[in-house]
Chains A and B, each alone.
Chain A
Amino acid sequence: MIDKRVASIAEAVADIGDGARIMLSGFQHIGVANALIRAITESGIKDLTIISNGAGHHGSSQADLMETGRVTRLICSSARGRGKDSTPFEKLYHSGKIELELVPQGTLAERIRAGGAGIPAFYTATGASTDLAADKEKRRFNGRDCVLETALTADFALLRADRGDRWGNLTYRGTQANFGPVMATAAKVTIAEVRQVVADGEIDPHHVRTPGIYVDRMVTVPEEG
């Protein structure tokens, strides 16, 4: 029998340890696995590499994780928080306590997609002739300068979805999907927090956006806190 459901948040993240490379879904404050992120913040694990779209605005669960100083490397597209005051990430960054790999957002999504699809690298025109491509291999295709980008994978992906069934099939609402569907494919272990786990057969296969084959564990968290 296949059953991806776990009883508690603690159980869902129990095997995430020091040195883990973790993908976090979310765009702005939507589709963020806040409960799972808080659990790893409280667990005290260290030397983490985080792959996410942003570095966390003030007051977010991701900013609180950064504040612990236990994230040593961040791969993201947006490392600037709202407002004039430095976010926890920005303080670490300017004191040289965290390594940043800044990636154009579409390249980030595609590197993760490639990672999940078994494609080791690809060329894209995004970023060509900019500082972000300074050290990358270049080649021209169809008269355009392109840069070689490599796939991204992770040990864990923590994502937020709307509904899930025991097979791990997930649906999303609104703009909640964002990086979730690609991150689910690119991690060795994908852990989803869902608003609601529903009975067998309640999710119409037509509506599944993350097939359960990609999901390892699922925990119910009714509110996106």
Chain B
Amino acid sequence: MPALSRDQMAWRAAQDIHDGAYVNLGIGVPVLVANYIPADREVMLQSENGIVGIGPVATENTLDPDFVDAGGQRITLQAGASLTDSAGAFAMIIGGHLDVTMLGAFQVAPNGDFANWDARLPNKGPLVGGAMDLATGAREVRVIMAHTTKQGEPRLVERCSYPLTAPAAVTKIYTDIAVVEVTPDGFVARERLEGVSADELREKTGAPIDIAPDCATLTAPDL
């Protein structure tokens, strides 16, 4: 099976969101998770601009110009939604009221340190947004990212070389070739793609990684 697409990574991450969860999805691949939450689970998606209960992306018929999500996308509300302001939204985030946040990242280290806010782009500005608040306040921080950079450099690394978003925060990583838990003993692969050998996974990971004895096959539907 080829490496998972962005949508397939989002699909896989969505399968682990429990019924009744309050979840914040970061911009980029994490927001795609909203499309793949299993139908038998009621999940409330929170957004830092003051929404609990984001619904589907707005269509021509459902568009209300006063509603956007954190990425600026026109959205609707789901049943049971509520609205607040930025301070209220961050009280939810920092106060530990979110069950899970799913974020993108440049790098994650075996102790859960991660970096996702300053790409040091030469002609662009830095963007921290709500990343540090989410990383510090959510009960669980899960990361969705490609296993390596486009140049093939590992993103699971011994120590983050980019500026940290938060120390010891990440518990689980969904990549295009594996599902990795961040444990007190470091990285443990729980699933890996068919055709990706243990050696190949180790080679593409920039820090020691244990392959769980019951390491399952990572699969996702065609999307």
Where the two chains meet, the residues of A that have a C-beta atom closer than 8 Å to any C-beta of B are 27-30, 53, 55, 77-82, 84-87, 89-90, 93-94, 100, 102-107, 109-110, 112-113, 124-132, 162, 172-182, 209, 224
Contact = CB atoms under 8 A, between A and B. Distances in A.
B123 A177 contact: no
Given A30-B66, A178-B49, A90 B125 contact: yes
Contact of A175 (B66, B121, B129): B66
A175 B49 contact: yes
A106 B90 contact: yes
* A-B pairs with lowest CB-CB distance, top 10: A174-B66, A79-B125, A106-B133, A106-B90, A80-B127, A28-B72, A104-B132, A27-B49, A177-B85, A174-B67
B93 interface: yes
Q: Output the residue of B93, B118, B125, B126 with the most chain A CB within 10 A.
A: B125
Contact of A29 (B72, B83, B125, B126): B72
Interface in B81-121: 83-87, 89-90, 93-94, 118, 121
B167 A129 contact: yes
Contacts of A102: 126, 128
16 contacts: A28-B68, A28-B72, A30-B66, A79-B125, A90-B123, A90-B125, A94-B122, A103-B128, A105-B90, A106-B133, A126-B136, A126-B137, A131-B163, A132-B132, A175-B68, A177-B50
A85 B130 CA distance: 23
Interface residues of B, number: 43
Contacts of A131: 118, 163-164
A91 B190 CA distance: 45
Pick from A90, A93, A104 the residue with the most CB of B within 10 Å: A104
Given A125-B136, A178-B50, 18 more contacts: A27-B48, A27-B49, A28-B72, A30-B66, A78-B128, A79-B126, A82-B72, A90-B123, A104-B129, A104-B130, A105-B130, A106-B90, A110-B87, A175-B49, A175-B67, A177-B50, A177-B86, A180-B85
B124 interface: yes
Contacts of B167: 128-129
B68 to A, nearest CB: 5
A89 B127 CA distance: 13
B131 interface: yes
Given A130-B165, A182-B85, A105 B94 contact: no
Contacts, number: 150
Contact of B94 (A78, A124, A177): A124
B126 A80 contact: yes
Contacts of B127: 77-80
A173 B49 CA distance: 12
Given A30-B68, A174-B67, A175-B50, A113 B128 contact: no
Contacts of B196: none
A164 B176 CA distance: 50
B124 A80 contact: yes
B124 A182 contact: no
Interface in B26-69: 47-51, 64-68
B216 interface: no
Contact of A182 (B86, B129, B136): B86
A93 B167 CA distance: 28
B73 to A, nearest CB: 9
A23 B158 CA distance: 41
Contacts of B48: 27, 105-106
A131 to B, nearest CB: 5
A206 B27 CA distance: 34
Contacts of A84: 123-124
Contacts of A181: 85, 87
Given A86-B123, A130-B163, A113 B87 contact: yes
Contacts of A124: 94
Contacts of B17: none
A27 B86 contact: yes
A212 B44 CA distance: 33
